[in-house]
Amino acid sequence: MVVKKYDVLVIGSGGGSKLSTPAGFIGLKAAIIEKGKFGGTCLNRGCIPSKMLIHPANVAHSIREAGKYDISTGVKSVNFEKILRRINRETDGDSRGITKWYDQNNNPTYYKGHARFVSDKVVEVNGTKMTAKRIFIATGARPNIPPIEGLKGTPYMTSTEALRARKLPKKLLVIGGGYIACELGHAYGALGADVHLIVRGETLLRKEDSEIQKEFVRKFSKDYNVHFLQKTMKVAYDKKKKKFTLSLEHKKSGKKKTITGDALLVATGVKPNTDDLGLDTTKIKTGKRGFVKVNRYMETSVKGVYALGDCVGNYMFRHSVNFEGDFLFKSLYLDKKRKKIKYPPMPHAVFSNPEVAGVGMTEDELIAKGKIKGKDYVIGLNTYKSSAMGMARIPDHGFVKLIFNKKNRKLIGAHIIGEEASDMIHQAIYAMTYGATVEKLLQMIYIHPALPEIFRNACRKALDEF
């Protein structure tokens, strides 16, 4: 059989499009393989549709809290089906538009189907074999489903189904305590569902700074029900009543209980889409959890085969795979020189309520490394309510926590919980990227009264600790 040859072959149309599209623009013979909808996780079942659902949920939440401003109002009704149909129509339309573009352009060549390696540098899709000077694996990840007794075969939801649902359940059970559970739990809850999170651990968002975790749990638990230290032993589904029943066991006391709901969302992390790529026919290595192993050049154990994004797992964000894709294209095809990837400070955000954002080291990570507060690092923390804008917004939560290196006085970590945290964090991202000291951050003029003054006040408090 004839093996088609390309300069660039990309598997996956999410972050992979950062390579396939510009490769075609500069005249390289390129191809892209996609088995599902164009746009990857972010556009079709991740960050974009979830934020399109969370925004109206935030509006509903704000309406319910209007009483603190002495405004009498309420949410009369929520047309959940119409909200979801609008979201799906928009994202599906964008995906179709990308597909149409690829269909109308001969370069890159678009192959719709499932890609499998048949040898180190030969990939097969729909019976067609192809190779390339460089192959890029960008297959992303999918929801991880835990082996809970009785779960398989029931109509449970993952984030994928939750973002395409048509009916708002009266009572939603959520297994998980990470960002997906907290974001979608808030979205469904703010729109009217009675939400219950079933969490194995003692906190939510366990990767956040511990002070952020504590504040998040305090506020989130006021709005939604959280069951900590609960192990889900069994799932039962009554087809007639259309009800889920979870059998739970407390991880410390051993006390057992059951909880029943109209819908079940499983949000227990993700797993890489590498188990069905035929990697066993190659020398491409993966780790225990299936993530592709790459070196500092983003190259796998097979020369000329690269991997990026969620299937690698260095970072699990769309903005991180965008950075990786841009880096690979620039170094390999514009500069034409292999370079080791060097990530700038990598930010993240959790679009729940409260909203959370962070970049750099947490205090917990510093303590784990043996660093001592006051000797190795200093902290400046300022609450939202202790600000001019706080007087206007009357917040019942929120703060900015900044961590500075004691020796060189540079910002090394920033953690924010509160309104517009995902916007507020950008000042810290810029500061860390360009090595700003606490003095430099205080030289600029901050608009009064605006939320970034909370950041400034945290800098002032940190300065007092040097």
Rounded distance, CA 72 to CA 61, Å? 14
Interval 230-288: pLDDT, tens? 999 999 999 999 999 999 999 999 999 999 999 999 999 999 999 999 999 999 999 99
Give the pTM. 0.96
Q: Tell me the average pLDDT across 448-454.
A: 97
pLDDT at 88: 98
pLDDT at 81: 98
Interval 95-142: pLDDT, tens? 999 999 998 888 999 999 999 999 999 999 999 999 999 999 999 999
Share of the chain above pLDDT 70, in %: 100
Q: Tell me the average pLDDT across 202-211.
A: 97
Interval 9-68: pLDDT, tens? 999 999 999 999 999 999 999 999 999 999 999 999 999 999 999 999 999 999 999 999
The full set of domains in the chain, from first to last, is 3-143+271-334 (3.50.50.60), 159-268 (3.50.50.60), 355-463 (3.30.390.30)
pLDDT at 285: 98
Max Cα distance, the chain (Å): 75
pLDDT at 105: 87
- Which residues on adjacent β-strands are paired with residue 379? 403
Rounded distance, CA 424 to CA 446, Å? 13
200-205: long-range contacts, CB 8 A cutoff, minimum separation 24: 200/229, 200/230, 200/231, 200/251, 201/177, 201/228, 201/229, 202/228, 202/229, 203/177, 203/228, 204/177, 204/178, 205/177, 205/178, 205/179, 205/350, 205/356
Interval 402-438: pLDDT, tens? 999 999 999 999 999 999 999 999 999 999 999 999 9
Q: Tell me: pLDDT of 1 over 80.
A: no
